Amino acid sequence: MFHLTILLTIAIIALDIVAVRRLARQSHYRSLWVAAAVAADIVPIAISIGVLMTARDNTTAVMMTSAWAFFAYLVLCVARIPLNIAIVCSKRRWVRLGGAAITAVTVIVLFYGMLVTRTDYRITRHTIYSERLPQAFDGYKIVQLSDIHIGTMLSPEEELTEIVRLCNAEDADMVAFCGDLVNVSYDELKSEYAAILAQLKARDGVYSVTGNHDTGIYMRTRGISVEENTSRLIAQQQQMGWKTLEDSTLHIHRSGESIALTGVAFSDKLQAFRHSFDLPYIDLKEAYEATERASFNITISHIPQTWDSILQDSLADLTLSGHVHAMQLKLPIGRRGLSPAMFGYKRWSGLYHEQGRYLYINDGIGNVLFPLRVGAKPEITVITIKCQE
């Protein structure tokens, strides 16, 4: 992402220089315009890089400063591209006015994504059917959450309170959280935030797994290991009443019948492939050791790329994932929408059904890199499982 941003900045600067030359006839004004344009292009990126390089660690303040600097970059630089292209490509007034209009709309959309869409929680409902589901679990309701990223929430207490209210209103049998509760470190989960999340309720409990941001791999000089960071975060979740499944399986019982619930922990073997289109086969049998093959299985796995390995070994009937966020950018076109994520991931959003098994990728709640969501609204998924009709 960093290298792409640098390349984009170079391209924007070059476009700025050409556009100014087309507009300003006097060399004196040209110099001033070029200086102003280049400053707008460079300053936000310079602030972000400077903060990240001079800070001792990726603290909440550092990540928030970088996120706002990148937001400024999108507004001041990226949004200006349509106007500059229009200026470079044509001298006609209506073409340039059209470019200016597109730039203005882009700026409005970016601010709308930050002020409104970022917390415009969308409840998505799906019903799936399986002949393997025990009759006692017919109509079993799951609320799925993912990627809260507390460290970059702008108003954590208000936002978390609303999320918990919406989830509890569903009166679910289970809440499944698919990882990335924090951004960098366990201490982002402050006691007041934990107290709100502890109010999340379901008949069979709240279950979670760790995501890549939960493991502490983005820490630099905190003085604790990534293993210690993860264990502290898990302990905090347990104090909230959540049950964290780290490569383990348990069973939920109803009227003498049961289903299995497995959690796939994010680990070092997944780190190199967390943003890969494909994931090499991974042996997950240890996580399913306590599972009887006859049992209907629900699996929570942070990254959706693990589904290929799960499918190959027929390990889960329903897999719940997150991680992708639809890259927080989605146009409402087609069944899933259009997003840059579709070029980086084989499966990136919504419900997938293959070989009689299901995968649901939740678009997440929070945000990383920049504090906005354009089109990709924060999602709470409600899945009802029914016996085969």
Task: Find the angle CA(136)-CA(142)-CA(145) to the nearest 5 degrees.
Answer: 165
- Please compute the mean of the pLDDT values over residues 241-253 and round it to a whole number: 94
- Please compute the mean of the pLDDT values over residues 66-95 and round it to a whole number: 90
Give me the long-range contacts of 66-71 (CB less than 8 A, separation at least 24).
67/152, 67/367, 67/368, 67/369, 67/370, 67/371, 68/371, 69/44, 69/45, 70/44, 70/369, 70/370, 71/110, 71/114, 71/370, 71/371, 71/372
Which pLDDT score is estimated for 15?
83
Phi-psi label, residue 326: left if phi above 0, alpha if psi -120 to 50, beta otherwise: left
- Please compute the mean of the pLDDT values over residues 66-73 and round it to a whole number: 90
Which pLDDT score is estimated for 389?
63
- Please compute the mean of the pLDDT values over residues 229-245 and round it to a whole number: 95
Residue 161 has pLDDT above 70, yes or no: yes
Q: How confident is the model at residue 25 (pLDDT cuts 50, 70, 90)?
A: low
Tell me the three state secondary structure of residue 207: strand
Which pLDDT score is estimated for 51?
79
Task: Find the angle CA(65)-CA(66)-CA(67) to the nearest 5 degrees.
Answer: 90
Which pLDDT score is estimated for 387?
92
Beta strand pairing call for 350-354 and 357-361: antiparallel
Q: How confident is the model at residue 24 (pLDDT cuts 50, 70, 90)?
A: low
Q: How far apart are CA 389 and CA 345, in angstroms?
A: 33
- Please compute the mean of the pLDDT values over residues 55-82 and round it to a whole number: 88
For residue 283, what are its two tokens?
């042996």
Q: How far apart are CA 69 and CA 67, in angstroms?
A: 5
Lowest model confidence (mean pLDDT) among 87-91, 221-225, 233-237? 221-225
Which pLDDT score is estimated for 58?
83
How many residues are listed for the chain in this entry?
389
- Please compute the mean of the pLDDT values over residues 94-113 and round it to a whole number: 95
Per DSSP, what are the bridge partners of residue 286?
none
Per DSSP, what are the bridge partners of residue 206?
175, 242
Neighbours of 213 (CB within 10 A): 28
* Mean pLDDT of the residues in the chain: 89
Residue 302 has pLDDT above 90, yes or no: yes
Which of 19-28, 263-272, 309-318, 345-354 is modeled with the greatest confidence? Answer: 345-354
Residue 358 main-chain phi, psi, to 5 deg: -120, 150
Which pLDDT score is estimated for 27?
59
Sign, CA torsion 337/338/341/345: positive
Residue 361 has pLDDT above 90, yes or no: yes
Residue 384 has pLDDT above 70, yes or no: yes
Please tell me the pTM assigned to this model.
0.91
Q: How far apart are CA 276 and CA 346, in angstroms?
A: 9
Residue 321 has pLDDT above 80, yes or no: yes
More confident residue, 31 or 174: 174
- Per-residue pLDDT of 194-213, as tens digits, reads 999 999 999 999 999 999 99
Residue 174 has pLDDT above 90, yes or no: yes
- Please compute the mean of the pLDDT values over residues 245-251 and round it to a whole number: 92
Lowest model confidence (mean pLDDT) among 105-114, 172-181, 212-221? 212-221
Q: How far apart are CA 93 and CA 385, in angstroms?
A: 58
Q: How confident is the model at residue 262 (pLDDT cuts 50, 70, 90)?
A: very high
Percentage of the chain lying above the pLDDT 90 cut: 62
Edge to edge, the sheet with strand 122-130 lists: 122-130, 379-387, 140-145, 174-177, 206-208, 242-244
Lowest model confidence (mean pLDDT) among 129-133, 170-174, 272-276, 366-370? 272-276
Which pLDDT score is estimated for 178?
97
The answer to whether residues 178 and 146 touch, using CB atoms and an 8 Å cutoff, is yes
